[in-house]
C-alpha cells in the first residue's frame, strides 16, 4: 500500500509548487535528462537518468531532505566521461518517490535498490552517496556486495564517526519541527555563512515547509569490519570545514577500517555545500574515485 499522505500531497497546491521547484532545480544540469518511474513492492520510485544505458552505471544517493536534484551539477560531467547516471529519490525522503508500507527497515532499502537494478537490467553499479545517502550506500554495499562495483562516499556521517554533539544539538529544532527558516539557519551555521545554490535552496526550503515529514530509515551502527573485506574499491571524499564531524579524525578512521581506501579532502567545503559546490572540485574528486 502506498503512503497516501505523500501521494495526496502531490495533487495539492503545495505539492504542485514543490514539483515545479524540483524541476527547476534539475534544469540546472548540463546534460540531457530523462525520467522514469519504477513500481516495486517497496516503493513507487522516481528516477532521473542521464547517459547511455550501455555505459557503466553510477547510482547517486542524496542526503536527507536534499532530493536527487542535489546531483544536478554532477550528472553532466559524469555522462560526458562515459557513465550512465541513475539518480533516484529515496522513498520516504523529499522528492517524487512514494514509499510503500512494506518499506519499513534499513534491510528493505537494500531490497528496494536491488529491485531497481533488476528492473533496469543492471547487474552491478557504482554507488555514490552523500551524508544520509552515504549511510544507505554503505549499508547496501555491506548487505549486497555482489551488486556493488565501487563505493564512493561524500562526507559520510555516522559511518566512520558519530555526528559531532554540537551539530546534533543545532539540528534539534529542525528535526523536531522542520521549516524553511530553521533549515536556512542550520545550513548557514554549518557552512559558516557560505551561500548555497539558490535554485536548490529554493526547493529545499519549500520541502522543509511543506513536504509530509517521515522518519528516515537510519542504519544501525555498521559493522565496519565488513567494509574491510569488501573486494570493491572504497573512496571517501571529505569536506574540510564539515561541522558534522572532525574531518581529520574521519580521515584517519577510514584508513584504520579500510587501509586501501582512497581518501581526499575538498578544501574550503562544508558538509552541506556538497555535492553541489564547489562543483569543479567535487566532480573532479568523484571522477578520480571512479578512475581509481
pLDDT digits (tens, 9 = 90+) for 180-198: 999 999 999 999 999 999 9
- What value does the mean pLDDT take over residues 146-155? 96
How many whole angstroms separate alpha carbon 106 and alpha carbon 109?
5
Cis peptide before 278 (omega within 30 of 0): yes
Owning domain of residue 40: 4-291
Residue 59 has pLDDT above 80, yes or no: yes
Indicate the burial class of 184 (C-beta count within 10 angstroms; 0-12, 13-18, 19 or more): middle
Provide the pLDDT for residue 220.
62
How many whole angstroms separate alpha carbon 232 and alpha carbon 127?
11
CATH number at residue 31: 3.40.50.1820
How many whole angstroms separate alpha carbon 124 and alpha carbon 146?
7
How many whole angstroms separate alpha carbon 50 and alpha carbon 266?
26
How many whole angstroms separate alpha carbon 103 and alpha carbon 234?
27
Question: What's the number of domains the chain is made of?
Answer: 1
Q: What does the buried/exposed string (b/e) look like for 194-220 if buried means 16 or more CB atoms within 10 Å of the residue's CB?
A: bebbebbbebbbbbbbbbeeeeebebe
pLDDT range class, residue 134, cuts 50, 70, 90: very high
Taking the model in full, what pTM does it have? Answer: 0.95
CB contact at 8 A, 45 and 116 = yes
Residue 292 has pLDDT above 90, yes or no: no
Q: Grid cell 564539515 — which residue?
A: 242
- What value does the mean pLDDT take over residues 218-240? 78
Which residue from 118, 122, 114 is spatially nearest to 145, judged by alpha carbons? 114
How many whole angstroms separate alpha carbon 261 and alpha carbon 228?
9
Provide the pLDDT for residue 103.
76
Which residue from 116, 23, 135 is spatially nearest to 68, judged by alpha carbons? 23
Kindly give the pairing relationship between strand 56-61 and strand 43-50: unpaired
Question: Over pLDDT 70: what percentage of the chain?
Answer: 93
pLDDT in tens, 27-47: 999 999 999 999 998 999 999
The SS3 call for residue 149 is: strand
Under 8 Å CB-to-CB from 258, ≥6 apart: which residues?
227, 228, 230, 234
Q: What does the buried/exposed string (b/e) look like for 37-62 if buried means 16 or more CB atoms within 10 Å of the residue's CB?
A: ebebebbbbbbbbbbeeeebbbbbbb
Amino acid at each position: 500500500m502506498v503512503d497516501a499522505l505523500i501521494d495526496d500531497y502531490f495533487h495539492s497546491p503545495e505539492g504542485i509548487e514543490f514539483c515545479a521547484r524540483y524541476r527547476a532545480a534539475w534544469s540546472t544540469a548540463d546534460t540531457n535528462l530523462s525520467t522514469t518511474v519504477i513500481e516495486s513492492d517497496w516503493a513507487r520510485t522516481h528516477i532521473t537518468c542521464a547517459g547511455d544505458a550501455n555505459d557503466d552505471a553510477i547510482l547517486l544517493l542524496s542526503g536527507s531532505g536534499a532530493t536527487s536534484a542535489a546531483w544536478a551539477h554532477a550528472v553532466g560531467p559524469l555522462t560526458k566521461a562515459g557513465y550512465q547516471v541513475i539518480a533516484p529519490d529515496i522513498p520516504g525522503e523529499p522528492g517524487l518517490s512514494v514509499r510503500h508500507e512494506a518499506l519499513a527497515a534499513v534491510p528493505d532499502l537494500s531490497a528496494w535498490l536491488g529491485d531497481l537494478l533488476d528492473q533496469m537490467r543492471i547487474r552491478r553499479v557504482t554507488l555514490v552517496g552523500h551524508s544520509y545517502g552515504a549511510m544507505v550506500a554503505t549499508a547496501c554495499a555491506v548487505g549486497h556486495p555482489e551488486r556493488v562495483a565501487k563505493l564512493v562516499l561524500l562526507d559520510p556521517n555516522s559511518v566512520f564517526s558519530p555526528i559531532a554533539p554540537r551539530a546534533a544539538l543545532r539540528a534539534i529544532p529542525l528535526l523536531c519541527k522542520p521549516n524553511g527558516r530553521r533549515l536556512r539557519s542550520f545550513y548557514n551555521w554549518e557552512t559558516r555563512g557560505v551561500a548555497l545554490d539558490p535554485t536548490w535552496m529554493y526547493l529545499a526550503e519549500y520541502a522543509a515547509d511543506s513536504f509530509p515529514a517521515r522518519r528516515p530509515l537510519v542504519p544501525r551502527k555498521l559493522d565496519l569490519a565488513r567494509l574491510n573485506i569488501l573486494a570493491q574499491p572504497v573512496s571517501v571524499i571529505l569536506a574540510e570545514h564539515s561541522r558534522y564531524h572532525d574531518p581529520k579524525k574521519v580521515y584517519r578512521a577510514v584508513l584504520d577500517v579500510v587501509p586501501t581506501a582512497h581518501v581526499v579532502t575538498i578544501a574550503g567545503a562544508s558538509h552541506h555545500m556538497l555535492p553541489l559546490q564547489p562543483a569543479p572540485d567535487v566532480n573532479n574528486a568523484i571522477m578520480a574515485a571512479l578512475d581509481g
